Structures are given as C-alpha cells and as structure tokens.
Amino acid sequence: MNFEERKYVLVAAVLLISTVFTLRLFWVQVVDSHWKAEAANISERQITVFPARGLILDRNGELLVANTPVYDIMVVPREVQPFDTTAFARLVGVSVEEVKKRVGDAGRYSSYKPSVFEKQITADQYAAIAVHLHKYTGFYGQSRTLRTYPRRIGAHMLGYLSEVDAKKVEQDPYYKPGDVIGVGGLEAYYEPELRGKRGVKYVVVDVHNKIQGPYKNGLYDTLAYEGKHLYTSIDAEMQAYGERLMKGKKGSIVAIEPKSGEILCLVTSPGYDPELLVGRVRNTNYGILQRDTLKPLFDRALQAQYPPGSIYKLVQTLLALEDSVINPNTGFPCNKSLVGCHNHPNAGNIISAIQYSCNPYFYMVFKRLLEQGDHPDRFVAASINLDHWNEGMRSFGLGQKPKVDLPALKGGSIPNAAFYDKIYGEKRWAFSTIYSLSIGQGEVLVVPMQMANLAAIFANKGWFRDPHMVRAVGKQDSLLTKWNEQHYTGVGTHWYDLIQEGMRRVVNEPGGTARQARIPNITVCGKTGTAENPHGEDHAVFVCFAPMEDPKIAMAVYVENSGFGGTWAAPIASLLMEQYLTDSITRPDLEKKMLETDLISLEKFYRKKVKAPRRRR
C-alpha cells in the first residue's frame, strides 16, 4: 500500500472514532435519561475542616480555656432550590425575612462558594436540626469548636473570639468571612499560634444533601493542624481568690514572680464571666456589658492610669541616693507648711522616712534632685535636672509601655522639661511649680502592671525581667527564651537594702502604714499609697513582696475610691500572698471583711460626703 492509500485509511479511522464518540455523547446527554438523572443527583462539595484551637493552661496544668463542639449551617446559593422558608425559619430559629436576607447576601458574595447562614449552634441544637436538613437543598452543617472556660476566671487576660471583620479578611488571606479571630488578651496576642491551620475535605453529595463519600478517595483533601497549646504562668487558685476578694470593688491586682517575671495573677474588677462572650449570645451580651456604667470590659490592670501616690517615694529615694544629694542618714523635719502630712515622729533617716511615709521629707528629697548642680539660673537647672530625673524613672520601666505578651497596654506618663515648657513656657517653671511630683501626684501616671514590676525591682535589688503570661508554647517543656533578658535600673544594688528595710518596717513595725499586711511567720515588705482622685474618694495603693529573705512574689493592688492604701489594698494583697505562699489563711476575720465589703455600693455615699483635706500616706 502506497503512501497515498495509507493516508486515506488513517483519515477514515479518525472519522469513524469521532463519529462513535459523538453518537455516545448524544445518547448519554440527550436520549438516555438515566445518565441525566445521575448527573443531576451527584455533585462535589468543598468542606472546610476547622482545626481545634490551642488550649490555654495555668502553671500547674489546669485548663483555663478549652474547646466545645458547635456547628455552622452553610449555604451554597447556586444549589438552593425553592423551599418552605417558614418551616426552615422555624427550624433554625430565625425570622422568614432574615432567611431571605441571608440567602440573598450569600448569593451576592458568591453563588458557588459556601457562606455561613447560621453560626455557632450547640451540638444539642444541631442534632434537632440535622434530621430535617436534607429537605433543604443547598444547606448543610459544618462542625467547628467554641471556647469554654472551666473555671470562669481571667476574662480580660484570656480574651475572647469574635467574627473576623472585612478589613482583616482583606489584609490576611488566611481568613474568610465567617471565620473567628482572637480579640483581646492571650487570644489576640497568640492568635497565629492558637488558631492552627485549617484543612479542606472534598465530598460527593446527592440531591438530598447526603454525603455519598470522599471525592476521588480524598486525593485532593488537606489535613487540618490543631493550634498550639499555651502554658501560662497564671496560678488558677490565686486568680480565682483574687477575683473573689475584689468582688464589689473597683480596681486591680497584679502579682509577679520576681526572679522570672512570670505573672501569677492578673485581676480586673469589675470583671465578667468569660462564658458570656461565647456562641450565638455573644453580640447581645457584649452590648449589655458595653453599656454597663461600671465598665466591666475595661481592663484596669493594663489600661487604667493613676497617679502612683507614695509608692513613688521609693524611686525618688533611690535616684537621690545615686546622685548623692542625700545619704542614708539624711533627715528632714515633718514640716507640714511645705506639704500636708499625717502625725508621726520626725524622720531622721531614709528608713524611717519610708516607714512613716513622710510627705515633707520627700518634698525636700525632690527639691534637692531638681536643684542639684551649680547652674546660676534655677529655671535652667530645673529643666536640666528634670530630664535627668526622667531618664532615671524610665530605667524603672515607667513612662513607657511594658513589654508584656498582652495587647492594648498603656504606658503611663513621666513628664520631662519639654512637657512643662509647653505648658508654662521656657524658663517659666521650677521646683516650686511641680513639687507635687515629689509625692507621686501631679502629672505623673502609672498603670498597675508597672507598679507590680516596681515591686519586683525592689525585691530583686535593682533588676527585672519583662513581665509575661506565657511560659511555653506547643509543649510544656518548650520554654520561651525571649523573657530571659535582665534589665537593670542603673541605681547601685547596695542602695536597695535601705529600701527593703524601710518597706519591712512599713508592714512590721509600730508607726508603719501597712500593719494589716502582716503575715504570721512571713516577712512582708510593702509600701502604701494614696492616689489622688479629683472626682471622689482617693484610690488605695499597695505594693509589696515576700518573703523578704528570698522573694517569691511581688504585687500591686489598686482599690479605687477607698481612701488610704493600708485599709483595703494592703489587706487584700496580704491575704493573696498568704494563700499563695502557704496554701492557707490564718486570719479568717480579715478575710471575711475583705470578701463581704461592697465598696461600689458605698461609692455614692463617698461622692455626697463633704471631704476634709486629705493627708497622703
């Protein structure tokens, strides 16, 4: 057979095969109704497999945040067929109008991609829905998990989950509409670690919405990887006890392990039950909490900024000693014509000045700090020395945001010369203008976290590690190393012996301002303060650490609108320290008083009361 003949044979073969395939396709698609019905009855569906979010545990392995299963009802608009909207609305628990709106919104987003129709349905509720869901083509259930809180404590520090907004979806391709994201606390700070990695599963479903099996034996499926667990430094027992002690009070408690910087408890009061912001009731409850005049959503431990009061005197003392403007035996009379004070013996040295918290003494200390040097112009001298003072204060972590593994912290405020130049003008202010800074009033502000860190610095004799909440991520022994760096204040360590002895006397010696903070057989070192409040009764402040010989805990307690620091803040701190150090309470009467007194209810009385001039201690 020559070439020309072979060519015609090849062309004929190709035409024959093409004709056979064309006739077969015509038969399947047009003539044979069986294949048409089969194609209509089977389709593939992409199902997102949401990973379990990482758990959050306390320092002893107790669960603070766990997961519970829930279901979302999804809708694929192009698959939806005419259905009884009234019956479906009743089944799911929404209005008929809402059903129509949500299906319409889903269609505008995408006719082919699944959208969340109703989210976060509990397992019990979904069980009742699932038996009827096959009647509604285009709708199906998809499992995911919600947070649950076994101890119902630490709402502010833990944070919560909320639906991701459109801006975040646009910024981060990981998220899709309907996804949840951590908001506030550890949930937000450690979102990338906690969320894990989602997977995808492709399944074949029939016209009745029933899954027939995996698509191509799972060839295109991807695995979901669960989020990493967080092992925190929080002591759940201490946290729960602190929240009980602060019930009926406005304020905060921050406790730190001095040597490690690990946060032991972080209490904000008033607080709220973290379960309120879980599931379908989250939006409703959030609105209620947001409108509450007591501001339970406000994290006072990290965001409330107060004058530090007499706590500041300890830092003033250290800076003055380092600059040699005073020495350990410097004494000043308690001259109430300079600044108001309570009655006590004259402070003949630094230790007794701390013990008595003498306002005129520290007035003179700050005066020497601002007037040191030999510059002939007192205004220029004040400007130079205030900037030097500001630098020293910042070495204690003041006037700047603490590097804590929590979002939305405030940093307080430490004024410098430029600050007062802006208010008064250059060379228009001096010590006499800003002397209120000497006792921790005026334009200086701190947050409770900073005050607890100060207590840790006093305990460590001049150094600190950044306070932090999480010890390990993923595995309990995968300890984070980024918190190991030690920061030094620049004040000689030998000066801290004086501070510690003064703080010991505040609690343990007659004339001390925090005698209610004593703990049997434990040497507590502390300092009271009264933070001025122009809108009502002053705020009580107490910082402390214990035991003096080998500090295991440092703490700051703020109780708003409660007056003198030794009355409320010191006893609360003392009870918490005793519970943590000894796992017992030896002063049941004091505990009963702290647990049962409702200072919030008394606040109206305080506001109506005609107040006499206050004496800060």
* CATH number of the structural domain spanning residue 495: 3.40.710.10
Place of tokens 């409108």: 291
Could you give the CA distance from residue 407 to residue 168 in angstroms, rounded to a whole number? 17
Place of tokens 């608009």: 77
* 279 lies in some domain: yes
Q: Which of 231, 265, 287 is the endpoint of a domain?
A: 231
Contact 203, 195 (CB under 8 A): no
> Are residues 257 and 391 located together in one domain of the fold?
yes
Does residue 527 sit in helix, strand or coil?
strand
* 488 lies in some domain: yes
Q: How many residues does the chain have?
A: 617
Residues with Cβ within 8 Å of 386's Cβ and at least 6 positions away in sequence, in order, are 370, 415, 416, 417, 420, 434
Could you give the CA distance from residue 571 to residue 587 in angstroms, rounded to a whole number? 10
HEC per residue, 567-614: CCHHHHHHHHHHHHHHCCCCCHHHHHHHHHCCHHHHHHHHHHCCCCCC
> Are residues 224 and 248 located together in one domain of the fold?
no
Q: Which of 185, 213, 231 is the endpoint of a domain?
A: 231
Q: Which of 231, 256, 273 is the endpoint of a domain?
A: 231
> Are residues 210 and 241 located together in one domain of the fold?
no
**Structural domain of 343:** 236-608
Q: What is the pLDDT of residue 37?
A: 40
> Are residues 299 and 191 located together in one domain of the fold?
no
> Are residues 275 and 337 located together in one domain of the fold?
yes
> Are residues 209 and 317 located together in one domain of the fold?
no
Could you give the CA distance from residue 217 to residue 214 in angstroms, rounded to a whole number? 5
Does residue 188 sit in helix, strand or coil?
helix
> Are residues 457 and 550 located together in one domain of the fold?
yes
* 96 lies in some domain: no
Amino acid at 71: Y
Of 424, 324, 322, 315, residue with least CA distance to 379? 424
Could you give the CA distance from residue 422 to residue 412 in angstroms, rounded to a whole number? 19
Of 613, 146, 182, residue with least CA distance to 359? 613
* 36 lies in some domain: no
* 121 lies in some domain: no
> Are residues 247 and 225 located together in one domain of the fold?
no
* Mean model confidence pLDDT for the chain: 88
* 603 lies in some domain: yes
The region of weakest confidence among 108-112, 337-341, 416-420, 608-612 is 608-612
* 2 lies in some domain: no
Q: What is the pLDDT of residue 404?
A: 95
* 128 lies in some domain: no
Q: What are the structure tokens assigned to 599, written together?
A: 């200072």
> Are residues 202 and 292 located together in one domain of the fold?
no
Per-residue pLDDT of 223-271, as tens digits, reads 778 999 999 999 999 999 999 999 999 999 999 999 999 999 999 999 9
> Are residues 375 and 307 located together in one domain of the fold?
yes
What CATH number is associated with residue 192?
3.90.1310.10
pTM of the prediction? 0.84
Q: How many domains are contained in the chain?
A: 2
> Are residues 493 and 587 located together in one domain of the fold?
yes
> Are residues 302 and 435 located together in one domain of the fold?
yes
Per-residue pLDDT of 438-487, as tens digits, reads 999 999 999 999 999 999 999 999 999 999 999 999 999 888 999 999 99
